[in-house]
Structure 1
Amino acid sequence: MIESTKIRCQWVPSDNQLMQTYHDLEWGTPTTSTQALFELLTLEIFQSGLSWQIILNKRDHFRRAFAQFSAAQVANFNQQDIENLMNNADIVRNRRKILATINNAQVIVNDFPDNQFSEYIWSFTGYHVIKHHYAHYFEIPKFDSLAVVVSQNLRQRHFQFIGPVTIYSFLQASGIVNDHELGCFRSD
């Protein structure tokens, strides 16, 4: 059980166990597995325009629907798989986001063999975590210059649905950027 007396980032509801667990164990934790990075990127894409709570509530369904986020398997999804996803009420059914996810899996498989996607993503920061020191989540920008550079580079590599706001959220979630607020037990 997650300890509810810990001081957390102010965006984490004190009565929401799922969000507390995500905050305490995942958000901002440096992630180097290509599979985990593909999952976080995909979830951030699906979150666009929605709340993170919706995506967390559906996360296990997304994992089943997208082959546990195996890029190799998702890259081979066909038209029938797309229609199955569009008919799956347990996930967010957005055709553009589904197609972007399949496309992004294909780019990862074709351009980044042997976990090289992780190396590529981390290379933007010289393989270091960028630690910000914000006192309140209202100070955290929707995106920054790093997110713009990463987004543009991903776009050049033919990734889809990867604007700077989505990429900044991805960088935070994957721990490349540490935006835990000052005072949070995870701020280091």
Structure 2
Amino acid sequence: MKRCDWATNELEQLYHDYEWGKPLHDEAKLFEMLVLESMQAGLSWSTILKKRESMREAFDSFDYHKIADYQEDKILALLANPGVIRHRKKIEALINNAQAYLKIQEKYGSFDIFIWQFVEEPIINQWQNTHEVPASTELAKTISKELKQAGFKFLGPTSVYAFMQSVGMVNDHLISCSFK
């Protein structure tokens, strides 16, 4: 079995094999991936995967209903927790994004309907090597702009493209990959 060459450790390999590039429509999981991608800004994906379970515990299983109501005492507890990304702006964005997520659900019926409207079906690319895979695309820029207009933070075009890959809106497995 051949994998994309970026999956170099066990956590990355499990993520690559079972999640990355697979179409996702579950509201809770979509929010989790938004959180993880926004937390990744400036960090490696490996770092995020290592902290994923700790963040799941600290962020109430990524329950956006609960997160939308976090107050200063919870922010301070999170900033003291070594299992999460201890960056005040990212934690504040987490809360803000949970609130924006709820508003999107109210407006569109679900976040899934909102986010998947940008692609009729998953975009399946045919990359020969990892260096060909873009960090962002025009579509990611468009979605990022829409998310910002809806009130989301820490979701620029690069984070949005990574989100699109993580939820299968884009399948960037290399053509040599057995998991595509």
Same fold (TM over 0.5): yes
Any idea what the Cα deviations from partners look like across 1:12-53, whole Å, max 9, x if unmatched? Answer: 11xx22111110001111110111011111111111111111
Alignment of 1:116-131 (within 5 A): 116-126=110-120, 128-131=121-124
The partner residue of 2:156 within 151, 163, 166 is 163
Q: Contact between 2:21 and 2:169, CA under 8 Å: does it hold in 1?
A: yes
Aligned equivalents of 2:29 and 2:113: distance in 1? 13
Any idea what the Cα deviations from partners look like across 1:29-80, whole Å, max 9, x if unmatched? Answer: 1110111011111111111111111110110011011111111111011111
Which AA in structure 1 matches 2:93?
A: A
After the TM superposition, list the runs of 4 or more consecutive aligned residues in structure 1 that deviate by more than 3 angstroms. none
> Which secondary structure state, in structure 2, belongs to the residue aligned with residue 7 of structure 1?
coil
Match of 1:108 in 2: 101
- Structure 1: runs of 5+ lacking an equivalent: 1-5
The partner residue of 1:78 within 71, 77, 86 is 71
Percent identity, aligned pairs only, is: 40
- Structure 2: runs of 5+ lacking an equivalent: none
Which AA in structure 2 matches 1:7?
A: K
Taking only aligned residues, the RMSD between alpha carbons, in angstroms, comes to: 1.2
Q: How many pairs are equivalent?
A: 179
Q: Contact between 2:58 and 2:78, CA under 8 Å: does it hold in 1?
A: yes
Q: Contact between 2:41 and 2:154, CA under 8 Å: does it hold in 1?
A: no
Matched, 1:10 2:8: no
> Which secondary structure state, in structure 2, belongs to the residue aligned with residue 108 of structure 1?
helix
Any idea what the Cα deviations from partners look like across 1:67-114, whole Å, max 9, x if unmatched? Answer: 111111110111111111111111110011101110010011133149
Match of 1:3 in 2: none
TM norm structure 2 = 0.96
Matched, 1:93 2:89: no
Aligned equivalents of 2:116 and 2:163: distance in 1? 12
Q: Contact between 2:93 and 2:152, CA under 8 Å: does it hold in 1?
A: yes
Q: Contact between 1:30 and 1:176, CA under 8 Å: does it hold in 2?
A: yes
TM norm structure 1 = 0.92
Matched, 1:46 2:39: yes
